[in-house]
Structure 1
Amino acid sequence: MRFVVALAALSVLAGSAQAQSVEEFYKGKTINLAIGFSVGGGYDLYARHLARHMGKHIPGNPTIVPQNMAGAGSLRAANFIYTAAPKDGTAFGTFARTTGINPLLDSGATFDGTKFSWIGSVTDDVSLCITWYTTGIKTFDDFMKKPSNLGGQGPSSEPDIFARLYKNVLNVPIKLVPGYPGTNEITLAMERGEVDGLCGISWSTVKTRHAKWLKEKKINLISQTSFKRVPEIGDVPLMLEQTQDKEKLQILKIFVGAQQMARPFAAPPGIPADRKAALVAAFDATMKDPEYLEDAKKLDIDVNPVSGKAIEDLLAEIYALPKDVLKKAGEAVTK
């Protein structure tokens, strides 16, 4: 009899938990936002700004707490969100735009990028290769002819991926110097003369965090990674303009496509559908929030949002590419 009563009680509790509304669940809760990079960089800026505004758009108004989790070019944070973070809607993260495709590239990532609960991206973006003004590398022609030491983080990070793409696909004489925690540390190393520059740095980071460089002409903009030139950047050649080889272009376009999810946010796989919907709706509402937009303008943050659904569609398309193309792309960024 006691066993039957206990089962009945458990059933009531389970039913109560299942009936709990999104607002009831989030009320008084804290949501942890894992940032896959060190303090002071572009991803950190975008994430902390989102954290200040998004909570009020989630039913129950939970507090969002940013936590830096740098390592392996943000792969540490991605692995945490995918495998270890609670799958109840109280954790999400931001990591490099190429993280979702890393498992296809023999980079050491073991997750499936299509299974994250994608929330959205604050903007699309363009990444650059830049060099310090004291180097003799001022144009793409110089880049092709003169050896350069470029700073990196780890195998799956954007500075490493793009440096290897230029080296292995376009035959640029690059020596990669890995091991820096984030782009902020790489740029400091560049200023000190430890490295000549870096690839894979976002234009939005350059113009917001390093506007003084542009004003004082302290950096050379060597190449931009985009499908079309951005007028604001000026007459800087595209990566895709440097080859006519169809196979090489196919490889490069995989990584250029990832620029569309420049500042992505994702929760773990398998979180309750209603809480995922609430996070997505809150993100979308934040992107239209006048206070958020006003603060973004003050911080020179670009807001050109990409929906979670658009990210899911992009990754599904990339994951469906022929295996031989993906294999060659993986070899290009891991050698």
Structure 2
Amino acid sequence: MTHTRQFLAGAAVLAGTAGLLAAPAAADDIAEFYKGKQINAIAGGGAGGGFALAARILGRHMVNHIPGKPDWIVTAMPGAGGARSIKYIVNAAAQDGTVIGAVLPPAVLSPLLRPGVGYKSEDLQWVGSITPMPSVLSVWHTHNVNSLDDAKKREVIVATSSKLSTNYYMSMFLNKVVGTKFKVISGYQGGDRQNNAMEKGEVHARASFFNSYKSTKADWLRDRKIVHLATLGPRLDELKGATHLADIAKTPEQRKMVAFMQAGENVGHGFFVSPGVPKARVDALRKAFDATMKDQAFLGDAKKRNVTVEPVAGVELDKSIDEAMDVPQSLVDDFKTLVEMDAPKK
């Protein structure tokens, strides 16, 4: 059973025969724990966004592969580019495997950009990713901005939740590197609010994940309601008309910054649990996730809702995040300076 609501407010592995005998007992322990319980999947975006949708579809089928078959609900907790939800999961939520995070990818970088944000991405225990996915900066069709060259001549107001979001640093990177005139307005928490603001004409543009548009705004793509100006992360044929940030980087340092920025896009629809969750339960959740990715009912459901499935295992995400976090502080500092991440000193 899955529902959605908006949020307001290690043991050593035994070898040989002993290990074989221990496995059923461990599975029984996991089943006993999860039986009658409810897993809360907390999405870092809005209730109507693609991350909450992916979490609902995943949960509908993943519970059948978790010993004990718990219930599954989805809670939307937007804010601070997804950092708010991770901070809550790590510091305030249950640490027993009943809370799973549906990460908003920009939040992977937040600990480097905002020391003291409340968590370390490399300490999170990754369950798996449904798919990596690109971000795309898109403008509403009535604003008559059809390219980055147009955006150099005309101001484009971009909605964002905070400076920790892809909306912010994609726009500011473009302003500094190619001279566009993006004006970023903070305070729009969640993709659904940003989409509504574009439709109403409050803002002209936002950055989103292309897969989220495909799953929640297929009519916008069909009717060409938005024009894609720039993209970041995995390259897609569908986004050939949009400029990839790697292609406008002018210096080796800027190219390293692009690689740094797209660490979250390489995670995509990623799911994690807090560092405090016991390893046996993490392993059980990873096994259930991997089985779900091959579940024909899940694959059919995902296809029906235009959710791309190109899974990445949790252990691979662990390695990827470790590498992404291992960057020189000088690069992070130069990036923050370039995009004016910190408020100017008075």
Deviation at 1:73, TM superposition (A): 2.5
Cα pair distance change 1:66/1:98, threshold 3 Å: same
Deviation at 1:233, TM superposition (A): 2.5
Structure 1: where are the runs of 5+ without partners?
Answer: 1-17
Where does residue 125 of structure 1 map in the other structure?
A: 133
Indicate the residue corresponding to 2:118 in structure 1: 110
- 5 Å-filtered alignment, 1:184-333, equals 184-199=192-207, 201-226=208-233, 228=235, 230-333=236-339
C-alpha distance in structure 2 between counterparts of 1:161 and 1:44, whole Å: 23
Separation in 2 of the partners of 1:292 and 1:126?
A: 22
**1:13 aligned residue:** none
| Structure 2, unpaired ranges of 5+ | 1-25
TM-score, structure 2 length as denominator?
A: 0.86
Match for residue 187 of structure 2 among 175, 179, 188: 179
Q: Which residue of 1 aligns with 2:22?
A: none
Cα distance change of structure 1 residues 153 and 278 upon mapping to structure 2, 3 Å threshold: same
Q: Deviations 1:98-122 (Å, cap 9, x if unpaired)?
A: 2122111127623111111111111
Partner secondary structure for residue 105 of structure 2: coil
CA contact (8 A) 1:165 1:252 kept: no
TM-align CA RMSD: 2.0
* 2:63 matched residue in structure 1: 55
Residue in structure 2 matched with residue 12 of structure 1 by the alignment: none
Report the CA distance between 1:320 and its aligned residue.
1.6
- In 2, the alpha carbon distance for the partners of 1:79 and 1:315 equals 17
How far apart are residue 50 of structure 1 and its match? Answer: 1.1
Aligned residues: 317
1:188, CA displacement in angstroms? Answer: 1.2
Q: Distance in 2 between matches of 1:142 and 1:108?
A: 39
CA contact (8 A) 1:107 1:330 kept: no
Task: Give the match's secondary structure for 2:310.
Answer: coil
Task: Give the corresponding residue for 1:9.
Answer: none
Matched, 1:163 2:171: yes
Matched letter for residue 263 of structure 1: H
Given the superposition, is the C-alpha separation of residues 270 and 139 from structure 1 closer, same or farther in structure 2, using an over 3 Å criterion? same
Compared with structure 1, are the counterparts of its residues 50 and 80 closer, same or farther at alpha carbon in structure 2 (3 Å cutoff)?
same
Percent identity, please. 31
CA distance in 1, matches of 2:240, 2:327: 33
- Which residue is 2:45 aligned to? 37
**Per-residue deviation at 1:96?**
1.2
Match of 2:7 in 1: none
Name the SS for the 1:138 alignment partner: coil
- How far did 1:157 drift? 2.4
Q: What is the alpha-carbon distance in structure 2 between the residues aligned to residue 36 and residue 76 of structure 1?
A: 7
Larger Rg: 1
**Partners of 1:108 and 1:252 in 2: CA distance:** 23
Report the Cα distance in structure 1 between the residues aligned to 2:170 and 2:105, rounded to whole angstroms. Answer: 12
Which segment drifts farther, 88-97 or 209-218?
A: 209-218
Q: Shift of the alpha carbon at 1:135?
A: 1.0
Decide whether aligned partners of structure 1 residues 162 and 119 sit closer, same or farther in structure 2, where only a CA change above 3 A counts.
same
Superposed CA offset, 1:169-204 (max 9, x none) = 4442211111112111111111111111112x1111
Deviations 1:219-252 (A, max 9, x none): 1111111354x11233322111112211111111
Instruction: Give, as a single letter, the amino acid of the residue that structure 1 aligns with 2:226.
Output: I
**Aligned-partner residue type, residue 85 of structure 2:** A
- 1:270 shift after superposition: 2.4
Question: Do structure 1's residue 72 and structure 2's residue 72 form an aligned pair?
Answer: no
CA distance in 2, matches of 1:67, 1:260: 23
Q: Would you say the 8 A contact 1:227–1:240 is kept in 2?
A: no
Counterpart-to-counterpart distance in 1, 2:218 and 2:28: 48
Is the deviation greater in 212-221 or in 292-301?
212-221
Runs of 4+ in 1 over 4 A off after TM superposition: none
Q: Is the CA contact (8 Å cut-off) linking 2:107 and 2:264 kept in structure 1?
A: no
Give yes or no for contact 1:107–1:155 (8 Å, CA) kept in 2.
no
Counterpart residue type for residue 223 of structure 2: E
